[in-house]
Amino acid sequence: MAELTEADAAQLHQEDVDIKRGDGGDAPSAGDRAAETEPAADNDARPSTTTTERHISIQTKLEGLEMLVDLNGAGRKSCPLCPEEKFKACYSHKLRRHLQNLHWKVYVEFEGQRMCICHLPCRNLKPGLGGDQASGRHVAHYHCVVCSVTIARKTDMISHLKRHVNKGETEASYSGSSDVAFEEPAAPSGQAYEIMKELGTNVQLLPNHTTPQKSDTYFNRKMKTNRQLVFCSLAVLAEERNPLECLDAFGATGIMGLQWAKHLRSAVKVTITDISDTCVKMIKENCELNHIRVDGGSRCPRGPDGVSGEVESAPIATVEVAKMDANVIMHLRPFDYIHLDPFGTAVNYLDAAFRNVRNLGIISVTSTDTGSLYAKSPNVTLRHYGCHIVRTEYYKELAARMVVATVARAAARCNKGIEVLLAVALEHFVLVVVRVLRGPTQADESAKKLRKLVHCQWCEERIFLKQGNMVDDTLPCNCHGSLPGKTAVQLGPLWSGPLFNTGFLRRMLSAAVQHSMDDIQPLVKTLICESECTTLKSLVHGPSALTNQVECGVVIKTLQSGEESSPDHPGKRKTGEDSGNVVKKLKSDASLEHPPFYYSIHRHSIRGMNMPKLNKFLQYLTEAGFRVSRTHFDPTGVRTDATLEQFKSVLTKYSVPTYTNATATQTSVSTEKTV
């Protein structure tokens, strides 16, 4: 019965496959032809059939698994994935529960396909202890969606799929490349291209684009937030002065540089570089895909159907693509905007970036070496960044300040200072955006903000160390006196200045609204409130919000500044008496900078007490006279100018013992009984 059921199910699946082939063409794909000529492997590891068609246990939806059996019909039915001796024939309602609770829930997922557990005799029985094959038993197993191999353990199947991914082998590489919309250019090694669209920009990806060790054209979908933040910062700079010479130093697929050119058009002159021949070739193909002319190229952009037309031959922008090392091109040419996003740390490229960047230009640095940034590898941190850190509750802001400190030291070596416009630390990356200020005076001012941090390892109180202070006498906590030994450690050197510029963030929010970037708007709003250390800030996107912003002695014109501001050219530094007044104003507003670091409300909660809601707690701190705001570094973090002792006192005051609710319930019940 089980053999007949399996044969019927296989026949139904074969008919479905034939129908699909009939719709798409009678010619078999390249992957099917290769699989038919492939010799049979070991019978213990591979199924007895020689076809590479998908096994019936691999489904995308539960309905596909239930369609293997007619559950609407009457009578008893057998499970299509279990032999008769394991699961006897039963009625439809019981069989449906069996398929849902056993086969559908016990699965391994890969690219939207579920490899459900299979109990059919797909694997040959291994001999027993006596050498008799009949004494063995069939083992539950999974069928690989890529190569049809059968593996018993779930963890082994996951490892097996990871090896496929590392080799660049996916289901598409075995099923052929008939789904690719564009026939040229041909992918290397017979691999199929994948077309991905982000922010109105199309890029071609190889199947192994998610593995940087195996693919030159690395693309990470999780870095979409990073790309949008960088785009908004460039859009803000393009409002100040244009055209801009901007550089995407590590192109890979070229997605970031293409987004700049496609949306900012004539306001920017984009240069995309990469050291890999494969990347340079793919960047040029992606330019054609988006109707962008490659500077120096002779081919015209092609339409969506792959045919060049007279109407579609007019490019919407021009991009320069060069095969060159990032350090070399930054030494050779000056730029207004430079974005560094290497695989890992960017410390090896900072000196070249600051060597030739123009005055009041912007450098954005993305670091993805989270292992060293988040204190998982302290020896690597010391080697790359020259900082000593430990794991703390505010480790993400610690990583951001460490990267800014490294950037400031690289700028100081070139007699340049920096102003931090934005510093974001999320799960996968740390992004730092700084404005470059020329001159040794600016370099000295930036170098003065590099300080050591004193951190208490017991209560996690922290304070930046000033010159001439003892370690134990610096911290406001009394842990060093009440506990044996020393509890404080020195971390750093770190950046002690502000991490955000409110005016720049407001204009970034306006750019995000203008270009319909809904994903990062909540994040930018959080950064604005965090920069001002407030929770009740109205964010206006209209013309009333676009006023002149003073940044590092520079008056930057915006959409409303044409009538009210002075006739100075945008982007030029003020000199003489006006510049001195601006510096005095900046010094007087220094007290309004956001306080460094934050406290986690869960880390400092009291045992046996119910904490108030986070928004309520922020209100209590505000009523106590402290500046408070939430932080993007930690969803449970509170940025405030209160000390840890004051923070805990307010938290203790408004926390309720856990037994109070139970006592109140018992009192109400006893009152009802008395009545």
Residue 232 has a pLDDT of 97
**Segment (H or E) for 189:** none
Beta carbons within 10 angstroms of residue 216's beta carbon: 19
The owner of tokens 């890529």 is: 146
Rounded CA gap, 632 and 530, in Å?
8
Residue 61 has a pLDDT of 86
Residue 360 has a pLDDT of 95
Closest CA to 413 of 333, 332, 351: 351
Residue 216 has a pLDDT of 58
Residue 248 has a pLDDT of 96
Rounded CA gap, 434 and 360, in Å?
10
Residue 211 has a pLDDT of 60
Rounded CA gap, 380 and 373, in Å?
9
DSSP secondary structure letter of residue 229: H
Give DSSP secondary structure letters for 611-660. PPPHHHHHHHHHHTT--EEE-SS-TTEEEESS-HHHHHHHHHHT-EETHH
Question: What pLDDT, in 10s, does the model give residues 458-496?
Answer: 888 899 987 655 554 567 787 876 776 678 889 989 999
Q: How far is CA 139 from the centre of its chain?
A: 40
Ranges of residues in the chain whose predicted pLDDT is under 50: 1-7, 9, 12-13, 15-17, 19-52, 129, 133-135, 172-190, 214, 297-312, 472, 537-591, 665, 669, 675
Residue 486 has a pLDDT of 76
Rounded CA gap, 51 and 49, in Å?
6
Angle at alpha carbon of residue 509, lines to 503 and 511, rounded to 5°: 105
Segments in 192-245 forming alpha helices (H): 224-240
Phi, psi dihedrals of residue 252, rounded to the nearest 5°: 55, -105
Q: In a 3-state reduction of DSSP, which class is residue 601?
A: coil
Phi, psi dihedrals of residue 198, rounded to the nearest 5°: -145, 125
CB contact burial 53-87 (16+ within 10 A = b; e otherwise): bbbbbbbeebeebbbbbeeeeeeebbbbbbbeeeb
Measured over the CA atoms of residue 245, residue 246, residue 250 and residue 254, the dihedral's sign is negative
Question: What pLDDT, in 10s, does the model give residues 396-442?
Answer: 999 999 999 999 999 999 999 999 999 999 988 999 999 999 999 99
Give DSSP secondary structure letters for 344-376. S--GGGHHHHHHHEEEEEEEEEEE--HHHHTTS
Q: Are strands 292-294 and 317-323 parallel, antiparallel or unpaired?
A: parallel
The owner of tokens 């009939």 is: 22
Residue 295 has a pLDDT of 86
Question: What pLDDT, in 10s, does the model give residues 523-571?
Answer: 999 999 999 998 854 444 443 344 444 444 444 444 433 333 333 444 4
Closest CA to 425 of 497, 539, 552, 526: 526
Rounded CA gap, 225 and 129, in Å?
58
Rounded CA gap, 417 and 294, in Å?
35
Rounded CA gap, 144 and 116, in Å?
10
Q: Which residues partner with 292 through β-bridges?
A: 317
Residue 222 has a pLDDT of 86
Cis peptide bond N-terminal to 567, omega within 30: no
Residue 215 has a pLDDT of 53
Q: Tell me the HSE value of 615 on the side-chain side, using a 13 A CA sphere.
A: 2
